[in-house]
Amino acid sequence: MPEMNIIQAVNDALRIEMRRDPRVVVLGEDVGRFGGVFRATTGLYEEFGGERCIDTPLAESGIVGTAIGMALYGLRPVPEIQFADFIYPAYDQIVNELAKMRYRSGGQYPAPLVIRTPVGGGIKGGHYHSQSPEALFIHVPGLKVVIPSNPIDAKGLLLASIRDEDPVIFMEPKRVYRAARGDVPEGDYTIPIGEAKIVREGRQVTILAWGAMVHTCLEAAEKASTLDGRYDLEIIDLRTLLPFDVDAILTSVKKTGRVVIVHEAPRTCGFGAELAATIQERALLQLQAPILRVTGFDTPFPYTLEHEYLPDANRILDAVARVVNF
């Protein structure tokens, strides 16, 4: 199995699907000759030509809006929004159109397509290249929201997303685009949407995370295992945020009785709030401590102080200590 990073895995998935399914087209800003600002579409223009790997005008609403029209006609578009921070001009098209097509037409006009977009901070990108807007899409009925943390999942989930019959917002954690490496199976495989993955088994505290934060949580777990009062953490990578894997979460919570939720996005109305509410509704009597959240702060994403803003291993371990010692 070749070792790949997330960008290479995304690229591999796109190439496999474009070879397999002539309906798949990629469109977006700089995705053609340049291969994307993160190089995720490298080589697609050369292999599939400008009609299937399309450089568009700089207009996100147009990219998503025309992709919807293509999907209605039977294509499988995979538009790229260069940074999730730039997605808002397309928000109306995503929320009121894309997400509602199947429903409002009584099932007559589904619009399956995948919007790929890099998310998250830690790359010296400031407010406009660092946001984690997943909650804004999870809250919209009609969308699925997927975010892999590693190349193996990135490839399998992207292939599953393009073949899905519903619109998918596919978020790519750009901080670990190149840093997260792994042996990626060659050829075609999918990872089902809606299934979480236990990336580290443990008995003491359940840590829920996704995207780049999975790596921060793993770092915290390593650190915790060498501390005096060792903590035994179970880390769940949600992978799909909607529909999320409630069974995997509850199984773990019933085992550990303690939960810490970690995300980069601001705390208030972040997805952690939904998870915490769901867990207490279904497993209150199994909980040994309040559910804690370690998140970005309720500020715009800062430039110079980004590492103060982002959850890190020590902040996670502080929360772990609080739930363990409650």
Partner 1 sequence: MKLEVIRVIDDDGKVIHPEREPRLTGDAHRKVLHALIRIRMVDERMLRLQRQGRLGFYVSTTGEEATHIGAAAALRVSDWFYSAYREVGAALYRGYALRTFMCQLFGNAEDPVKGRQMPVHHSVRDLNFVTVASPVATQIPHAVGTAWAAKLQRKDDVAVAFFGDGGTSTPIFHTSCLFAGVFKVPAIIVCRNNGWAISVPRSVQTVTPTFAQKAIAYGLPGVLVDGNDVLAMIHTVAEAAARGRRGEGATLIEARTYRRGAHSSSDDPSVYRDADEPREWETRDPIDRYRKYLTHKGELTADVEARWRHEITEEITDAIRYAESVPPKPPLRTMFEDVYAEVPWHLEEQFHELEEHLRRHGAKSGH
CA-atom Rg of the chain in angstroms: 19
Smallest separation (angstroms) from partner 1 to the CB of 17: 16
Contact in structure between 210 and 235 (CB atoms under 8 Å):
no
| Nearest Cα to Cα of residue 192 among 158, 166, 216, 222 | 158
Residue range at the interface with partner 1 (CB under 8 A); choices 31-39, 60-68, 153-161, 205-213: 60-68
Tokens of 67: 């992709």
Q: Is 148 in the site for partner 1 (CB under 8 A)?
A: no
Q: Is 281 in the site for partner 1 (CB under 8 A)?
A: no
Q: Is 273 in the site for partner 1 (CB under 8 A)?
A: no
Q: Is 25 in the site for partner 1 (CB under 8 A)?
A: yes
Distance separating the N- and C-terminal Cα atoms of the chain: 45
Q: Is 144 in the site for partner 1 (CB under 8 A)?
A: yes
Q: Is 65 in the site for partner 1 (CB under 8 A)?
A: yes
Active site residue 129: yes
Residue range at the interface with partner 1 (CB under 8 A); choices 160-168, 197-205, 284-292, 301-309: 160-168
SS3 state of residue 229: coil
Residue range at the interface with partner 1 (CB under 8 A); choices 12-20, 89-97, 176-184, 207-215: 89-97
Smallest separation (angstroms) from partner 1 to the CB of 272: 17
Round to whole Å and give the CA distance between 177 and 283: 35
Q: How many CB atoms lie within 10 A of CB 263?
A: 28
Contact in structure between 148 and 292 (CB atoms under 8 Å):
no
Sheet of strand 259-266, all strands in order from the earlier edge strand to the far edge: 197-200, 233-237, 205-209, 259-266, 292-296
The Cβ-side half-sphere exposure at 52, using a 13 Å CA radius, reads 18
Residue range at the interface with partner 1 (CB under 8 A); choices 33-41, 95-103, 204-212, 256-264: 95-103
Smallest separation (angstroms) from partner 1 to the CB of 65: 3
Taking residues 191 to 220 in sequence order and writing x for each that binds partner 1 by CB under 8 A, - otherwise, the string is ---x--------------------------
**Would you put residue 194 in left (φ > 0), alpha (ψ -120 to 50) or beta?**
left
Smallest separation (angstroms) from partner 1 to the CB of 83: 19
Q: Is 277 in the site for partner 1 (CB under 8 A)?
A: no
Specify the amino acid at residue 21.
Answer: D
Q: Is 165 in the site for partner 1 (CB under 8 A)?
A: yes
Q: Is 107 in the site for partner 1 (CB under 8 A)?
A: yes
Q: Which of 127, 129, 215, 307 is catalytic?
A: 129
Residue range at the interface with partner 1 (CB under 8 A); choices 55-63, 207-215, 216-224, 292-300: 55-63
Smallest separation (angstroms) from partner 1 to the CB of 5: 31
DSSP state of 310: S
| Nearest Cα to Cα of residue 41 among 125, 97, 116 | 116
Q: Is 51 in the site for partner 1 (CB under 8 A)?
A: yes
Q: Is 104 in the site for partner 1 (CB under 8 A)?
A: yes
Contact in structure between 32 and 54 (CB atoms under 8 Å):
yes
Smallest separation (angstroms) from partner 1 to the CB of 68: 5
Round to whole Å and give the CA distance between 138 and 117: 15
Round to whole Å and give the CA distance between 283 and 225: 27
Residue 268, φ and ψ in degrees, nearest 5: -65, 120
Residues that bind partner 1 (CB under 8 A): 25, 51-52, 54, 56-57, 59, 61-62, 64-75, 77, 89, 92-93, 96-97, 100-110, 141-142, 144, 164-166, 194, 243, 246
Q: Which residues are catalytic?
A: 129
